[in-house]
Structure 1
Amino acid sequence: MRVLVVGGGGREHALCWKLAQSPLLTALFCAPGNAGIAEVARCVPIIAEDISGIVNFAKANAIDLVVVGPEAPLTLGLADFCAAAGLRVFGPDAAAARLEGSKSFMKEVLDAAGAPTAAWARFEDAGAARAYLAKVGAPIVVKADGLAAGKGVVVAATPEEAEAAIAAIMEDRIHGSAGAEVVIEDCMTGPEVSFFALCDGSTAIPFGAAQDHKRVGDGDTGPNTGGMGAYGPPPVFSAAMEAEVMDHCVTPVLAEMAKRGAPFRGVLFAGLMLTPEGPKLLEFNVRFGDPECQVLMLRLQSDLLPLLVAAADGHLAGMAPDWRPDPALVVVMAAEGYPEAPRKGSVIGGLEAAAACPGVTVFHAGTARREDGAVIATGGRVLGIAATGADLRAARDAAYAGVDAVVWPGGFCRRDIGARAL
Structure 2
Amino acid sequence: MKVMVVGGGGREHTLVWKIKQSPLVKEIYCAPGNAGIERIAVCINIPAENIEALAEFALNEKIDLTVVGPEAPLTLGIVDEFEKRGLKVFGPSKKAAEIEGSKVFAKELMERYGIPTAHYRVFNDPIEAGEYIKDKGAPVVVKADGLAAGKGVIVALTEDEALDGVKRIMRDREFGRAGDRIVVEEYLEGPEVSILAFTDGNTIIPMVSAQDHKRVYDNDRGPNTGGMGAFAPSPVYTPNIARVVEKEILKKTIDAMKRENRPYKGVLYAGLMITSKGPKVLEFNCRFGDPETQVVLPLLESDLVPVMQAVIDSRLDEAEIRWKDKKAVCVIMASGGYPRKYEKGFKISGIEEAEKIEGITVFHAGTAKEGDSIVTAGGRVLGVTALGDSLDSAARLVYKGVEKISFKGAHYRKDIGRK
**Class of the TM-score when normalised by the shorter of the 2 chains:** over 0.9
Counterpart of 2:321 in structure 1 is: 321
Is residue 2:192 matched to residue 1:176?
Answer: no
SS at structure 1 position matched to 2:397? helix
1:297-349 deviations in Å (ceiling 9; x for gaps): 11110100111111111110142421101100001001111110121000001
Q: CA deviation at 1:77?
A: 0.6
Inter-partner Cα distance in structure 2 for 1:60 and 1:41: 18
Pairing 1:380–2:400 present? no
Matched residues in 1 for 2:316 and 2:111: separation? 26
Structure 2 partner of 1:202: 202
**Matched residue, 1:413:** 412
Check conservation: 1:36, 1:363, Cα contact below 8 A: yes
Aligned to 2:146: 146
Is the contact made by 2:310 and 2:318 (CA closer than 8 Å) also made in structure 1?
A: no
**Distance in 2 separating the partners of 1:92 and 1:323:** 24
- 2:259 and 2:329 mapped to 1: Cα distance? 38
Tell me if the contact between 1:338 and 1:380 (Cα under 8 Å) persists in the aligned partners.
Answer: yes
Equivalent residues of 2:269, 2:289 under 8 A apart: yes
Counterpart position of 1:123: 123
In 2, the alpha carbon distance for the partners of 1:312 and 1:6 equals 17
Q: Aligned-pair distance for 1:409?
A: 3.0
What amino acid maps onto 1:379 in structure 2? G
SS of the aligned residue for 2:416 comes to coil
Moved beyond 4 Å, runs of 4+:
none
The residue aligned with 1:41 is: 41
Letter in 2 for 1:332: I
Q: Structure 1 counterpart of 2:327, which letter? A: P
- Structure 2 residue 107 is matched with structure 1 residue 107: yes
Equivalent residue number for residue 227 of structure 1: 227
Q: Which runs of 5+ in 1 are unaligned?
A: none
Cα deviation, residue 6, structure 1: 0.2
Note if contact 1:101-1:147 (Cα within 8 Å) is conserved in structure 2: yes
TM-score (norm 2): 0.99
RMSD: 0.9
Distance across 1 between alignment mates of 2:103 and 2:39: 37
Q: How much does 1:135 deviate?
A: 2.3
**How far, CA to CA, are the matches of 2:247 and 2:414 in structure 1?**
36
Bigger shift: residues 379-388 or 106-115: 106-115
Q: Give 1:22-171 correspondences, 5 Å limit.
A: 22-171=22-171
Q: Percent identity?
A: 50
After TM superposition, give the deviation of residue 134 of structure 1 in Å. 2.3
Give the TM-score of the pair, scaled to structure 1: 0.98
Counterpart contact for 1:210–1:232, Cα < 8 Å: yes
- Structure 2 contact 194–269 (Cα < 8 Å) conserved: yes
1:181-192 matched pairs, under 5 angstroms? 181-192=181-192
Distance 1:97 1:81 in 2: 14
Q: CA deviation at 1:244?
A: 1.0
Structure 2: where are the runs of 5+ without partners? none
Measure, in 1, the Cα distance between the counterparts of 2:264 and 2:112.
16
Matched AA of 1:380: G
Query: 1:33, CA displacement in angstroms?
Result: 0.5
Q: Equivalents in 2 of 1:241, 1:270: separation in Å?
A: 14
Residues 198 and 207, structure 2, Cα contact 8 Å, conserved in 1:
yes
Deviation track 1:68-95 (CA, whole Å, cap 9, x = no partner) reads 0000000111111011111111111110
Q: How many residues align?
A: 419
Distance in 2, Cα, partners of 1:288 & 1:79: 15
Distance (Å, rounded) in 1 between the aligned partners of 2:219 and 2:134: 31
Which residue is 1:393 aligned to?
392
Conserved in 2, the CA contact under 8 Å of 1:229 and 1:332?
yes
Which whole-Å CA distance do the structure 2 matches of 1:317 and 1:299 have between them? 21
CA distance in 2 between partners of 1:294 and 1:353 (Å): 19
Structure 2 CA distance for aligned equivalents of residues 363 and 19 of structure 1: 14
Output aligned runs, 1:231-380, within 5 Å: 231-371=231-371, 373-380=372-379
Cα distance in 2 for residues equivalent to 1:155 and 1:350? 36
Query: Secondary structure of the equivalent of 2:189?
Result: coil
Amino acid at match of 2:308: L
Counterpart code for 2:28: L
